[in-house]
Structure 1
């Protein structure tokens, strides 16, 4: 049974920002991603937001009339508002007000699937709500957070009620942080075990809905250790939140770990960036980043700028990155086109995936070397290791043992040095 969509008006202030129209279009897309129907939009050009009501007095009156005419469920604001601005706008329009940060937090809350992602979103919501607590909204905020403060609603003065709610939220924040810390310790142990195996790690990063998950599924379908472990793909902002890691095994026995990280968006709330720092750490610890850009979007330059800023904010710097301009089929461009380590491509076309794999491999296996070994016949375990874990180029049988020419990581030569008879770069 399909749930009836709630209706909304989106509003924004143009502070002489060249990105304003783009951010308003994105706000409408975010509303749609949260199953909201945008029925109208209001904008105003000002030098700065009104400290009390965001919009100027006349525009607020127009907003109240528009909200009444459309009988909307809520008004969505294109910026993060102060608690007093939200209260004043709600009072003057008699309509629920959600700012951009609150909307993104709601989307994340609805999409989180794993326990870690749910905890991260809950933490971000609580950190967002804490400074916005006020007496008249205390019960509503308790219901939103799921805390136990609601049972105190009718006790004591407004001030004591506010303090009770504040303490409940602060206690919840503390508890969630401890739980996340335990999860992150486990993740760190797993990552150290992966690093010890010396497998290259590649992370897909970029704007939400640029095609990262589609690219990942194409690679997993071809080279995945488990071909069935596909990730969800949907034409929607923030369709997936949870970082997925998949092992790829190529025909020459080279392996890599590929991760699909949560997508970025402009004005990504600070609370979410902080909360999802551990999830995004897959990018921070990668050997190679693949930035996926929607080539068909006229705002692709702004999207790349957002990706760069967000990566910097989470501490991802000085990691090699290749840029993939996806959806070239929609843009009507010929593909694949390669320029250095950049690629114009279409994720669902084999030729594009072939070229992408080539670029990724060139950047991931530069430390590989070719060596020739002669393995005595009583060292069958060494022969088995070379056959199963390296790219064997040729095999001959000599009186003194099995001669194998193989390609393998340079740092693995040490354990096999007694059998090396010839070495080539």
Structure 2
């Protein structure tokens, strides 16, 4: 632990922290500051947008049933929140970027950010996370602003959350709970909802807390009384033990549900094996959905917010050499992504391991794109086999990126390309680069196929590379590079003649 004089040497001036908070509250650099969503003709009708906006939360809306209509009752008023960040290492800019991201996450979840607090400590306080004095100061800020929730930019221990709540007297949630809440709002598919619920239960399990009579034994010993009769006496279970058992039971059900969905997912994946697959990964709000829409016309939701889309989308595209490819979108990543989510979404992240090429989309306009790249690589490191797939860094939003940031990114060792999904800059070059990096079909066939097997010729054009094709009286004269499975079927057709 550093000496006190060392800590004083790096302690920022109060106005430095104040300026950080001021910039965060002004939404500088967040998704909200960009001035709304920007769509192109390639984004389609965006039908999901109406559903998302129809269930969004609105400011100043009472939740008393007699004051509002039934439709309005389904909408919740915006939670008023105060942000709390810990600055234990790095520069003031690093602390600001992290807190700005927390503000964007809070707004995505449907909250109104009223104020923020940044604490400089070498290590989190084991009791209240920010220290008793700072917790009292936070209580005063909460009282002055009328906030009803405090969001901490870290994962709190259960005891830290309880101790902080006891001081500030309002609900306290941590970064992990906030991200889980966003996922719960945005998941649409049956599998996605099951994965999110499983992650939430894994997070909740060690944080159960009983109050008063709920902690008493249920029909244990003499608690059940004489009226309970024989068979009711014994050690019994506490209410919290019952809750834990129910959670374990529900988690087992969800794991079975997700496992039962695996065969259908494998069938869909095997149907695509004949066609090269490209998986899009990247930090949340980097522009993955916009690039997918540009390449395939998928029309998936494009929104200037974090974790706008969670459910994976697979669409077909064409590369300049004539081959068909499939492009798979995946869930966005974020720094310190809750490990519960990584485990729950393991089946979704498997799309990366079965891909022939990974397009790693990076927001080049972000002040710390290198940190985002590192965060994505850290998540992919937990996915077995993901590091073996070829990767192409796609620097998106170059139309608004700072020149010095682009200069730094160009110096990276990984293969890269610069694009703008908004203007279309570099998209043709991206498709050309994808075609060059995808593995070539390994088997060359030189055969004569009957005219009744035009389906094989068509598949050779779609999934392979046709060197030459001529028509003669005896059938198709085909020379092509194809996959092993297609070559086997072509040779079977020739033998059957």
State the TM-score bracket (shorter-chain normalisation): 0.7 to 0.9
2:248, 2:212 → 1: CA distance?
17
1:138, 1:23 → 2: CA distance?
41
Q: The residue matched to 2:355 in structure 1 has which SS? A: coil
Stretch moving more, 68-77 or 385-394: 385-394
Aligned residues: 392
Stretch moving more, 92-101 or 359-368: 359-368
Matched ranges for 1:34-45 at <5 A? 34-45=109-120
Stretch moving more, 403-412 or 124-133: 403-412
Q: How far 1:252 sits from its partner (Å)?
A: 6.1
- Residues 358 and 390, structure 2, Cα contact 8 Å, conserved in 1: yes
Over 3 Å counting, the alpha-carbon distance change for 1:312 and 1:412 in structure 2 is: same
Q: How far 1:39 sits from its partner (Å)?
A: 1.1
Over 3 Å counting, the alpha-carbon distance change for 1:407 and 1:75 in structure 2 is: same
2:269, 2:475 → 1: CA distance?
38
1:27-51 per-residue CA deviation (whole Å, 9 max, x = no partner) reads 1111111111111111111121111
Q: How far 1:171 sits from its partner (Å)?
A: 1.3
Q: CA RMSD in A?
A: 3.0
1:31, 1:252 → 2: CA distance?
45
Q: How far 1:412 sits from its partner (Å)?
A: 3.7
Which residue pairs with 1:108 in the alignment?
A: 183
- Residues 371 and 406, structure 1, Cα contact 8 Å, conserved in 2: yes
Q: The residue matched to 2:201 in structure 1 has which SS? A: helix
Stretch moving more, 406-415 or 207-216: 406-415
Corresponding position: 1:14 with 2:79: no
Q: How far 1:219 sits from its partner (Å)?
A: 1.0
1:103, 1:387 → 2: CA distance?
49
The structure whose residues are more often strand, as a share, is 1
1:351, 1:100 → 2: CA distance?
36
Corresponding position: 1:220 with 2:296: yes
Q: How far 1:382 sits from its partner (Å)?
A: 3.6
- Residues 15 and 45, structure 1, Cα contact 8 Å, conserved in 2: yes
Over 3 Å counting, the alpha-carbon distance change for 1:409 and 1:187 in structure 2 is: closer
1:327, 1:137 → 2: CA distance?
55
Which residue pairs with 2:352 in the alignment?
A: 283
Corresponding position: 1:194 with 2:249: no
1:371, 1:161 → 2: CA distance?
69
Over 3 Å counting, the alpha-carbon distance change for 1:23 and 1:403 in structure 2 is: same
Corresponding position: 1:97 with 2:152: no
1:180, 1:399 → 2: CA distance?
53
Which residue pairs with 1:142 in the alignment?
A: none
Matched ranges for 1:5-404 at <5 A? 5-18=78-91, 19-136=94-211, 160-195=238-273, 198-221=274-297, 229-249=298-318, 254-315=323-384, 316-331=386-401, 341-367=415-441, 373-375=447-449, 379-383=450-454, 385-387=456-458, 389-390=460-461, 392=466, 395-398=469-472, 402-404=476-478
1:200, 1:351 → 2: CA distance?
24
2:473, 2:193 → 1: CA distance?
63
- Residues 80 and 149, structure 2, Cα contact 8 Å, conserved in 1: yes
Q: How far 1:349 sits from its partner (Å)?
A: 3.6
- Residues 363 and 369, structure 2, Cα contact 8 Å, conserved in 1: yes
1:143-174 per-residue CA deviation (whole Å, 9 max, x = no partner) reads xxxxxxxxxxxx98997111121111111111
- Residues 319 and 431, structure 2, Cα contact 8 Å, conserved in 1: no
1:297, 1:246 → 2: CA distance?
28
- Residues 155 and 176, structure 2, Cα contact 8 Å, conserved in 1: yes
Over 3 Å counting, the alpha-carbon distance change for 1:386 and 1:166 in structure 2 is: same
2:299, 2:187 → 1: CA distance?
17
TM-score computed with the length of structure 1 as normaliser:
0.84
Structure 2, gaps ≥5 residues long: 1-53, 60-77, 215-222, 225-234
Q: How far 1:192 sits from its partner (Å)?
A: 3.2
1:394-414 per-residue CA deviation (whole Å, 9 max, x = no partner) reads 554556655445554476445
1:134, 1:395 → 2: CA distance?
72
- Residues 7 and 74, structure 1, Cα contact 8 Å, conserved in 2: yes
Q: The residue matched to 1:328 in structure 2 has which SS? A: coil
Which protein, 1 or 2, shows the higher relative CO under an 8 Å CA cutoff with sep ≥ 6? 2
Stretch moving more, 381-390 or 12-21: 381-390
1:365, 1:138 → 2: CA distance?
65
Which residue pairs with 1:151 in the alignment?
A: none
